[in-house]
A and B are shown apart, each in its own frame.
Chain A
Amino acid sequence: MGDKLKQLLDEIDHRTGIVSGLHHFLNEDIPASSGWHQIFGSVALFLFMVQFFTGMMLGFNYAPTPGDAYSSVRYIMTEVTGGRLIRGLHHWGASMIIVIVVIHMLQVFIWGAYKKPREATWIVGVVLLLLTLAYGLTGYLLPWDNRAYWGTVVTTQIGATVPIMGPYVSRILASAGAIGVQTFARFYTMHVQLLPPLTMILIFFHVFLVRRHGVAPAPGDELKPKKKFFPEQVFKDTVAVFVAFAILFTMAVMAKVPLERMADPTDTAYIPRPEWYFLFLFQTLKAFEGPLEVVGTVVLPTLAIVALILTPFIDRGKLVAVRQRTLAIGIVVLAGIGWGGLTGAAVKSTPPQTVASSIDFAGPTQWMESAPNELAGIGYYRREKCGACHNIEAGTTAKSGPNLVNTARRHDADWLLTHLKNPAAATPGSSMAPANLTDAEMKDVQAFLLKLTPDNAEVVDTAPDFAVQGAILYQKNSCGACHAVNGVGGKIGPALNGMSQRRNEAWVIEHFVNPKKVSPTTPMPPYNFKQPDMQNMVNYLFTLAARAPGQ
């Protein structure tokens, strides 16, 4: 058997050279000092392949146009089995690849491995770092949620401030005026068509150069016997890759992958923040105002890139042991402190998210389409523990009471009220106890049951408590007599969908407590809600969609 296999491999190799080529590649001589500090290049390459693969998988269920892009990402997250994991791998892999690429670079920098004759290897590496950042920048827009949209607005505006080139940058990104289908098409094409082949060519060139010059030795290596790349170093690389992948996989499973509200160009309340690895640039920008702004947006980043590229030409000294490279280590430590300080300051200056913007749109959000009386009805349904005897969703195991999912088909509104008040009167022989609810509360339960279908049944389980409590408060105070929510209610006051776009939380609370103060002509009476009622009410109102469903 083994002989047959060997013979087959020999035959294949005779015709293609694949087997001997692989052997040649793996049997590279590496210096005796090689070891654990040189694993990061392999990890970066592995993570790039994971990004390439998961990106392609996401592409199978992704529509690259605004609007549809958002719906399809939501579809991947909520409807496709395993979709959340695949997107999690891609999302967290993007952050991880930045971390690993930077560590790889720091290792090369501290060990001085960029020195003659390896200058070209270093420069190609710097370009690969820039490409990695370009992936982050272009990929950020693709989910087309509020975060993506507003982040890209800021990025493209920064691009427009570049002296002389600015207008051309705007033209290439099609971002002058507004971010729309054209900008989206360009970011998408850069992310999936331009960057991947470019990256592959440069990675190939980078690895080719490593092979051409050999792995950088440490001083004294020439006296020691050489090692082989395979399997000793490959073992170390594999362990590192495995650890990196285990961390990535755990993050993809455990950590939340953000998907916010769909991009809304009219959302004035949104506070955009860049991805964590760009926060230091964001913070640097704050230090430069007016005509100096270009220093933060263009001059400093350009200087940094030029300094990186020129590093091998500035530091032309002989190779020395790592411990003696105090200047290099000092620079890394200072850069680390600077980066950490700027990032920390940026995080600190970020206002806490509002409840409305922290809602996970990758989870069920159908409850947002329910009218307030239905949501309040769900609250009473939960409070009275109706679910102990009744099922809502089809196909679940039988309970003592009937399944309520098609109640509206079998009974009319009046029957329902009678049944809730006095079950035996509506259904002779019923063992149900009369509902312990006021007439108004029963009306809400009635509204909820009449609207219940197999399509919206999950709302009973998924509506968050703050929204249900807010809706109960809304109903108890008859807000619907004057205001409309999701198309249900009066027309005396303004409709409350879209209120979150015009007002902030403080204004709304002030308006409840003392309406005349913030809105002198309003006929609205004051409502001095206690906590947590006030917060539930405000949070509930802020989660309403900008437009009522179907409008």
Chain B
Amino acid sequence: MSEQNPAPQQANEDYSPSRRAFHLAVINIFGALIGLALAVPTGIYLLTAPRKRGGTKWIDAGDVGQINPGTPVELSFQESRLDGWRLVTEKKTAWVVKNTDSSIVAFGPQCTHLGCAYHVENGQFVCPCHTSIFSLDGKVTAGPAPRPLDRYETKIENNRLQIGDLKQQA
């Protein structure tokens, strides 16, 4: 320990520029590879829809024999669906209109603009949020709604309305 301490040199002569360039390249490439290997699966994990099971299930929404043509009726029904990892049973509603030829249309209960619940006023569907107005065949007659009301798939069995999936109208 009696040796004198020479001032340590700052530059290391063994460390050549080409070596330095190689090290920088490896740092960048390996860093990018790790980043990609984490980012790509995460993107897939967050952005792809989870696996879907099962097809259309028909839900009984009640007797439609007594509905008067041209008068919308709000029918409610219970739907069981898989909410992520959980089977939930929810109350849902549909605005049901019987046409003069006795065919039945069931509209989804939300305005196609921003999803508010609409109601019936003077023989048309009126949304209270931004005053979109729809005629009884679902077409937009006023307001900002971008497309006609969504419709449920329907079929009639023994005068009872069966409700299927909700479909967007073009």
Please list the residues of chain A having a beta carbon within 8 angstroms of any beta carbon in chain B.
29, 32, 50, 53, 57, 60-61, 63, 68, 71-72, 74-75, 78-83, 85-86, 222-228, 231-232, 234-235, 238-239, 241-242, 245, 249, 394, 453-455
Instruction: Please name 25 pairs of A and B residues whose Cβ atoms are closer than 8 Å in the assembled complex, sorted by A.
Output: A29-B10, A50-B38, A53-B38, A60-B46, A74-B85, A75-B84, A79-B50, A81-B44, A82-B41, A83-B45, A85-B45, A222-B5, A222-B8, A224-B8, A225-B9, A226-B12, A231-B20, A234-B23, A235-B23, A238-B26, A241-B30, A242-B33, A245-B34, A454-B54, A455-B54
**With a CB–CB cut-off of 8 A, which chain B residues contact A242?**
30, 33-34
Q: Is the CB of B15 within 8 A of A227?
A: yes
Which 5 A-B pairs rank lowest in CB-CB distance, beginning with the nearest? A75-B85, A225-B9, A82-B45, A235-B23, A71-B85
B91 at the interface (CB under 8 A from A): no
Q: Is B37 an interface residue (CB 8 A)?
A: yes
When A238-B26, A454-B55 are in contact, do A80 and B45 touch as well, CB less than 8 Å? yes
- Which residues from A are CB-within-8-Å of B23? 231-232, 234-235
Total count of chain B residues near the partner, CB < 8 A: 35
Question: Closest Cβ of chain B: how far from A56's Cβ, in Å?
Answer: 10
Pick from B6, B51, B53: contact of A223, CB below 8 A.
B6
Hey, which chain A residues are within 8 Å of B24, CB to CB? 231, 235
Provide the bound-state CA to CA distance between A60 and B31, in Å: 26
The answer to whether B85 and A81 have CB atoms under 8 Å apart is no
Give Cα A534 to B46, complex, Å: 46
* Pair A234/B27 contact, Cβ less than 8 Å: yes
* Contact among B11, B38, B50 with A80 in the assembled complex (CB-CB below 8 Å): B50
A interface: dominant SS: helix
Complex Cα spacing A141 to B24, Å? 43
A-chain residues with CB within 8 Å of residue B44 when the two chains form the complex: 81-82
Contacts of A81 in B (CB 8 A): 44-45, 48, 50-51
Other contacts beyond A241-B34, A454-B53: 13, CB < 8 A: A57-B45, A60-B46, A80-B45, A81-B44, A82-B42, A82-B48, A83-B45, A223-B5, A223-B8, A235-B26, A242-B34, A453-B54, A454-B55
Residue of B nearest to A221 (CB): B8
CB–CB A225/B45 < 8 A: no
Interface contact A226-B30, CB-CB below 8 Å? no
